[in-house]
Amino acid sequence: MGAQQRVYKQRIRSAQGMKKIFKAKEMVAASRIAKAHARVEATTPYAEALTRAIGSVAAHSTEIAHPFLDAERSQTGRAGILMITADRGMTGPYSHNVIREAEQLANTLRDEGKEPVMYVVGRKGDSYYRFRNRIPQRSWTPYKEHELPALGREIATTLTEDLLSEDPSVHLDELYVVGTRFHSRFVQEARSVRMVPMGLGAVRGENAPAYPLYEFVPDAESVIGELLPRYIRSRIINILLQAMASEHASTQRAMKTATDNAETQINKFTRLANSARQAEITQEITEIVGGADALSGSGRTER
């Protein structure tokens, strides 16, 4: 019985230690969500304003020809997929949901006769593909939260160069970004967005929004050429920040669940230890009573 109690007490101590770790991580993640969400809110208006500016230029300049706007362009059939995952563990289903969304998108592109080319942010996504001998075209890992804007600029530069490259082995016809959209600390959504080409139909069609008229200096094509790289950069930074806020929210929920499970284990093994102790005491009492009965039956008394 004593050995069994020692086993239960060791498990209780282990569960208590894990509970402290999970609780600390939960509190850290909870404290970071608000700050991460504020950064998302700060970058979203700029990205939306750039999108409207590009729409305005394209809507009133029918002769503009830019590879980022041409929805019909196809040179190599290569479609880039930028997948944003976590760089660490204990984030719940966060990375799994993103990887699943990226795999579904890649399968859809293959069915359309296109070649998906993976660009990965985060150790979890990079490990997923390397374990399956599918080395990504480019990986960015590890990374730190305060470096996300600089990382976004680096990623945007790399992808823009590949989109504009004349080398058939490097050139991309399309660019998709798979990340997690942050709605609230309770709701996040893994989704894919086609970033390039934007498509002119949306800004020149009958149902297009009414953009104000502008005069462009030096010309509309030069303005578009300057705005589009900025658009890609701002959107990627915004998506990275949304992904980080979503990661913190997912980590908080996962650690809350882990803390509750640890508490359940502590209660379980405490009950088992108490039962084992009670059984041991009962056995000791039984042995004492049995010994006393044996002595009284033999007529002997202890002095």
Helix, strand, coil percent content, the chain, rounded in steps of 5: 60, 10, 25
Distance CA 105, CA 177 (A): 10
Q: Could you tell me if residue 111 is left (phi over 0), alpha (psi between -120 and 50 degrees) or otherwise beta?
A: alpha
For residues 37 and 203, the model is more confident at 37
pTM more than 0.85? no
Q: What percent of the chain has pLDDT over 70?
A: 86
Distance CA 270, CA 98 (A): 39
Q: Is the per-residue pLDDT at 215 higher than 50?
A: yes
Distance CA 74, CA 37 (A): 37
Q: Is the per-residue pLDDT at 119 higher than 50?
A: yes
* Domains observed in the chain: 1-20+257-292 (no CATH), 26-252 (3.40.1380.10)
Distance CA 256, CA 29 (A): 10
Residue 302 dihedral angles phi and psi, to the nearest 5°: -90, 135
Residues 6+ apart with CB under 8 A from 281: none
Burial (0-12, 13-18, 19+ Cβ within 10 Å), 102: buried
Coil, strand, or helix at residue 283?
helix
- The per-residue pLDDT of the chain, averaged, comes to 85
Q: Quick one: pLDDT at residue 112?
A: 92
For 87-99, the pLDDT digits (tens) are 988 899 999 999 9
For 1-12, the pLDDT digits (tens) are 567 778 888 899
Distance CA 48, CA 238 (A): 10
* CA 104 to each of CA 82, 138, 152, 190: distance values in angstroms, whole numbers, following the listed order: 14, 20, 24, 12
Q: Quick one: pLDDT at residue 70?
A: 66
Q: Is the per-residue pLDDT at 201 higher than 50?
A: no
Distance CA 277, CA 3 (A): 11
Distance CA 164, CA 175 (A): 12
What would the mean pLDDT of 244-271 be, rounded to a whole number?
Answer: 93
Q: Quick one: pLDDT at residue 218?
A: 72
Q: Is residue 204 very low, low, confident or very high in pLDDT (cuts 50, 70, 90)?
A: very low
141-148 long-range contacts (CB < 8 A, ≥24 apart) are: 141/87, 142/87, 143/87, 145/32, 145/36, 145/244, 148/237, 148/240, 148/241, 148/244
Q: Is residue 53 very low, low, confident or very high in pLDDT (cuts 50, 70, 90)?
A: confident
What would the mean pLDDT of 248-277 be, rounded to a whole number?
Answer: 91
Q: Quick one: pLDDT at residue 60?
A: 63
